[in-house]
Structure 1
Amino acid sequence: MSYAAVGHITIDEMNEVRIGGSVVYGSLFATGLGMRASIVSRVGRDMPEEFLAKLEEEGVDTSRVKRSCERTTRFSISKSSYPLSLSSRCDNISVDDLSSLNADIIHLGPVANEINREVALESIKISRIVLLDLQGILRVFDNGIKLSRGYLDEFLDLEVVVHLNDLEAIAATGKDVRGALKELSRHFPIVAITLGRQGALFSFPEGILYAEAPEVDAKDEVGAGDVFSAALGIALFRGLELEDLAKFSVASATASTLHEGPCKIDENLIAELEGSVNVSWVEG
């Protein structure tokens, strides 16, 4: 089983400077579950070599990471996990970057509008399951980082599974979370909206499912949504029943908050947390 994450690797400035981005959190998560994982990305000449070397040591294939610009996409991030500002941005991912890529799951994890519809369409052609994180599509960079509908219309009605958080859903649709879920479900086969420590809502053709997250003493919530997306794709590929899929995705995201920074997550910890995830059908 193979997983490929597509999007910008980032340099995140917090209390310390560390590697970040959906592609990093997702690929490390997949590798931790024993999957063959790779990253398709573009970074700058300022990306520390030891950051990429560490990913390789953890079993992530970085052969498709190109140094194609002066400065890597770099964010300032607050303790609340939300980026405060964009200091620099690398160039866009192209369809050519996907040439000869072979992956069962492709996780499109843009963080700064670096993925377009053509890349998404190519991903659909070459993979069995494609997930699209909408965070990097809905962000507007103007005196900080704001949320709006952004480039969402460019991606509507693609056969992809989409994930976004509650604030992004409200900004994208102008509706409350439940209304946003219903609107987006008219354009995508599966939609998941994460609700922070409250869990997540899922829209499937069968109905709407709510998964309540277990209470934990979180250490670091950065990247939890990225892990959630990766887990959702893996659960779909494994063919899990919908309630089990919801438990696995929410438990995986919760488990990620118990660690500092991007890392592998023990599947035994995920299984333990799954037992505390309460699921219920809201509609269906």
Structure 2
Amino acid sequence: MTWGEPSAGVRPIVVFGSLNQDVRLASSRIARPGETIGDASMTLRWGGKGANQAVAAARLGGEVLLVSAVGDDSIGRAALADLDAEGVDRRHVRAVAEAPTGTAVVIVDAAGDNAITVAPGANAAVSADDLAAVLGEVPAGVLVTCFELPIDAVRTAVGHAAAAGWEVIVNPAPAADPLVGEWPDGCLFTPNAHELVALTGTTDVERAARQLAAQVNGTVVATLGAEGAVVVSNDRVEWVAAPRAAAVDTTGAGDTFNGALAWCRARGMDIVEAVRVAVVAASASTEHEGAREGMPTLEQLTARSDPGRPARAADGGGPS
């Protein structure tokens, strides 16, 4: 099977997630607490994990619907216009009068590493009811969600989707505490290495991934930056290497990974092959500044995966 040819009927992708405007500061390094660094340059870009993941899947040709919210303001209207240009169905992105569009401040250092602080704004108004309306009108497919929405809304929405026969990908980002609450069996969790430690309290990657997989009775794909990813379920551990990439900015690499993973699963790919494709997409995304600017199209992704294509001579660049 080639990436452009699904093994069976293509399923829709629904993203239940956040939408933000990113204020990006490029600086020589990230300031320590109490320190001021005055050499940054600023750009405004679109972001939010949910919207980013939707764009990543749509760039590959996926049928993608986003469930989210923006403020009833000029920033929100511009964000919706950008989704239109990307081919994302945004009919279920609500305009909220009482809150501004979400904002994230993204600080990127000279090595491409980042620190992010988010003001959720209208994202805090998104509820499981917003997804329920979609589940009644769209055939069961792949749901992707993240922790940039209220966690109770996420957990309830995931339960509704799983009960309706949807495959569920939970990107537990950001995560600062152990995972709590009841989650339906069979979900696919995609933490990065830092989130995996926060969710489990365990620092060894494989042991932590096994612990989380047992807790949710599902599968864990832990993304490990330049080291690629590991797929863990009750009876399987598969390590997937990342290609070398000339990393400029790792912002959005994890979102690219999750969007590409959803696209692969919607087309019937086995989980390990889907992770291989998603790792390549995430690595490609790091070679451009900004969360979305490097997200590849299917043509670009296929070209990068050509066995005859020379490896990029650089460090880093995997999903995170």
TM-score range, shorter chain: 0.7 to 0.9
Rounded Cα–Cα distance in structure 2 between residues aligned with 1:257 and 1:130: 26
State TM-score, norm by structure 2: 0.75
Alignment correspondent of 1:143:
none
Q: Distance in 2 between matches of 1:227 and 1:45?
A: 27
**Aligned residue number for residue 125 of structure 1:** 163
CA distance in 2 between counterparts of 1:155 and 1:42 reads 25
From the superposition, tell whether residues 153 and 29 of structure 1 become closer, same or farther in structure 2 (CA, over 3 Å): same
Checking the alignment, whether the CA contact within 8 Å between 1:251 and 1:271 is kept in structure 2 is: no
Residue correspondence of structure 1 range 107-186 to structure 2 within 5 A: 107-114=144-151, 115-136=153-174, 138=175, 147-149=176-178, 152-176=179-203, 177-186=205-214
Alpha-carbon offset, residue 275 of structure 1: 5.3
Classify 1:237/1:63 alpha carbon distance in 2 versus 1 (closer, same or farther; 3 Å). Answer: closer
Q: Which residue of 2 aligns with 1:105?
A: 142
RMSD of aligned residue pairs (Cα, Å)? 2.2
Mark the CA change 1:76 to 1:55 in structure 2 (over 3 Å): closer, same or farther. Answer: same
Aligned residue in 2 for 1:9:
19
How far residue 60 of structure 1 moved from its aligned partner, in angstroms, is 0.9
The one of 277, 286, 298 equivalent to 1:267 is 298
Residue 201 of structure 1 deviates from its aligned partner by 1.0
Q: Is the 1:106–1:129 Cα contact (8 Å) retained in structure 2?
A: yes
Q: Relative to 1, partners in 2 of residues 1:215 and 1:246: Cα closer, same or farther, differing over 3 Å?
A: same
Structure 2 unpaired stretches of 5+: 1-10, 25-41, 312-320
Tell me the distance in 1 between the aligned counterparts of 2:208 and 2:160: 27
Q: Check conservation: 1:106, 1:127, Cα contact below 8 A.
A: no
Could you tell me how far 1:29 is from its partner in structure 2?
A: 1.8
Greater strand proportion? 1
Q: Give the AA of the match of 1:163.
A: T
Which residue identity does 1:131 align to in structure 2? I
User: Which whole-Å CA distance do the structure 2 matches of 1:171 and 1:71 have between them?
Assistant: 30
Shift of 1:254: 1.1
**Identity, % of aligned pairs?**
25
Considering only CA atoms, is the larger Rg found in Structure 1 or Structure 2? Answer: 2
Q: Which runs of 5+ in 1 are unaligned?
A: 139-146, 278-284
Preserved CA contact (<8 Å) 2:253 2:283:
yes
